[in-house]
Structure 1
Amino acid sequence: MSQPSPGDELWCRRFHPAKDPAARLVCLPHAGGSASYFLPVAAALSPDVDVLAIQYPGRQDRRSEQPIDDLAILADRLHAVIRRQPELPLTFLGHSLGATLAFEVTRRLEADGHPPVRLFASGRRAPSTHRDEISHRTDEAIMAEVRRLSGTASTLLADDEMMRAAMPALRADYKAAETYRCAPDVTVTCPITVLTGDSDPKTTLDEAKAWSLHTTGSFDLRVFAGGHFFISDRSKEVMQVLKQHFGTEAPGATA
């Protein structure tokens, strides 16, 4: 582990700090998302798990910073931050763009001998599958896409001024997703669990299953009722899956 950097707290948000955690969960948000999206996860897993929600540059209290529109650069920066954290068994939960980013950070961690325990890839097609994104479109088209997916708080969706303030981060995130490429034979050894919505317009079932090509470890697919943000709409069921993984599920509970 490297020595902590004074800037690490800009990236890492611990909404429910754990005094003596047995494991760590690093949560990576979707395009245009922020660390606060994972407040319910931190609350559900506290105090047994050190839940580290990542705040990308260019949003909320980091709005004055330039957003990063290259996923490889973002993965490099985040890898360095994570390596400076105290050693604990590490699991990733990435939603949408965050799932692809988690995969890339996992590759870097495995390369330096610190493999995660598991990667939960939520609401995202496999790294080797590609779709055109909307980074090149007008602000209005991007806002329409975000509203269609309902991925941001309803108060923000209804406020054009706030939406336009968030546009630089949204556009950068979509560009990072759009320009990312991964060959089908690129793998990690980390087990992968894919979480997907059965009516997600951004990920078909075949695209979700294709994550199995990217691990030499075990693969598991969990399908939930819902669209792109099933992770919020079905939060109780998703939390049960995470609690089972960490061994904190109450006796008799079922997913």
Structure 2
Amino acid sequence: MPQSAEQFAKWVRRSHPAPQAGIRLVCLPHAGGSASFYFPVSRALAPAVEVLAVQYPGRQDRRHEPNIPDLHAMADRIFDAVCDLDDKPLALFGHSMGAVLAYEVALRMQDAGLPAPARVFTSGRRAPSCLRDERIHAESDEQLVAELRKLSGTADTMLTDPELLEMIMPAIRSDYRAVETYAHDPGRKLDCPVTALTGDRDPRVTVEEAAAWERHTSGPADLHVYPGGHFYLAEPRESALVIALLRELLAGRGAEEPAPARAAVA
């Protein structure tokens, strides 16, 4: 098996193969997240859009592999896994840490002379130019668990089970370290459309910080604000709205045509 095929098999999960789809969407999970987070998105968009969900090391079927606590190194590995997918348009969707990874993978596509992503979706994450000094990865387990509860993205049953916590905490801490120590190159910009999405009550992202993604592309940019917190897109109503937006932009009138900017989606 060629090395690129091996990388693809290791890093990418294709829950609903859609060989006739006109476009692929690579989805990148949040810190501590896994490819299964995007299973509902994959199911909803197939067969018009083929969803490829990235599986980071250190969790689920890759739990015995070492974590990667450096976001640039992780972006390198993800790019290696998807760089041969150039036979049809490719879009990227990332939530929280995954948004920064989507941005960095898109830059690597640009550097390699590959076709620009049809669109980059950045969800639940402030733009790289909006700096905050966050060191949650260096806090105690108790403080890290308190942060997870605050964001409401991890089931309480997992946060109260000592054995489960022992299993998931290394990956979560490693991911937090990766994104909190990340530094972007201020001289770089994407050359593709960027769509930013955020919850209006996200404790980690203000609407202004989400809107600042427009600074990071020379292409069109728009912003969609939904009711909810950091994991707004896990709520049934908001999830349906996000999926409708993805379907509209990717399988509807065409990924290359920018959507009109919206200040809010209700």
1:121 offset after TM fit, Å? Answer: 0.2
1:231 offset after TM fit, Å? Answer: 1.1
Contact 1:185 1:214 in 2 (8 A): no
Contact 2:7 2:80 in 1 (8 A): no
Aligned twin of 1:18 = 18
Structure 1 residue 127 corresponds to structure 2 residue 140: no
1:3 offset after TM fit, Å? Answer: 6.5
Where does the alignment leave 5 or more consecutive residues of structure 1 unmatched?
none
Q: Distance in 1 between matches of 2:160 and 2:46?
A: 32
Match runs of 1:73-88 below 5 Å: 73-85=73-85, 87-88=87-88
1:62 offset after TM fit, Å? Answer: 0.5
Contact 2:49 2:251 in 1 (8 A): no
Relative to the length of structure 1, the TM-score reads 0.93
User: What is the letter of the counterpart of residue 213 of structure 1?
Assistant: R
Aligned twin of 1:197 = 199
Q: Number of matched residues?
A: 250
Match runs of 1:110-125 below 5 Å: 110-114=110-114, 115-125=116-126
Match runs of 1:149-160 below 5 Å: 149-160=151-162
Q: Distance in 2 between matches of 1:106 and 1:32?
A: 22
Aligned twin of 2:45 = 45
Q: Distance in 2 between matches of 1:188 and 1:95?
A: 18
Contact 1:139 1:164 in 2 (8 A): no
Contact 2:23 2:251 in 1 (8 A): no
User: What is the letter of the counterpart of residue 120 of structure 1?
Assistant: F
Aligned twin of 1:136 = 138
Q: Distance in 1 between matches of 2:221 and 2:187?
A: 16
Aligned twin of 1:59 = 59
User: What is the letter of the counterpart of residue 6 of structure 2?
Assistant: P
Where does the alignment leave 5 or more consecutive residues of structure 2 unmatched?
254-264
1:159 offset after TM fit, Å? Answer: 2.3
**Which stretch shows the higher mean deviation, 107-116 or 152-161?**
152-161
1:171 offset after TM fit, Å? Answer: 0.8
1:232 offset after TM fit, Å? Answer: 1.1
Relative to the length of structure 2, the TM-score reads 0.89
1:48 offset after TM fit, Å? Answer: 1.5
| Paired residue secondary structure (1:6) | helix
Aligned twin of 1:180 = 182
**Counterpart among 210, 214, 219 of residue 208 in structure 1:** 210
| Paired residue secondary structure (1:217) | coil
Q: Distance in 2 between matches of 1:61 and 1:3?
A: 20
1:86 offset after TM fit, Å? Answer: 5.6
Aligned twin of 2:163 = 161
Aligned twin of 2:106 = 106
Alpha-carbon RMSD:
1.8
**Counterpart among 134, 145, 148 of residue 147 in structure 2:** 145
1:149 offset after TM fit, Å? Answer: 0.7
The verdict on how the C-alpha distance between 1:136 and 1:124 changes in structure 2, with shifts beyond 3 A counting, is: same
User: What is the letter of the counterpart of residue 117 of structure 2?
Assistant: P
Aligned twin of 1:239 = 243
Contact 1:197 1:226 in 2 (8 A): yes
The verdict on how the C-alpha distance between 1:117 and 1:7 changes in structure 2, with shifts beyond 3 A counting, is: closer
The verdict on how the C-alpha distance between 1:32 and 1:49 changes in structure 2, with shifts beyond 3 A counting, is: same
| Paired residue secondary structure (2:222) | strand
Contact 2:94 2:122 in 1 (8 A): yes
The verdict on how the C-alpha distance between 1:13 and 1:19 changes in structure 2, with shifts beyond 3 A counting, is: same
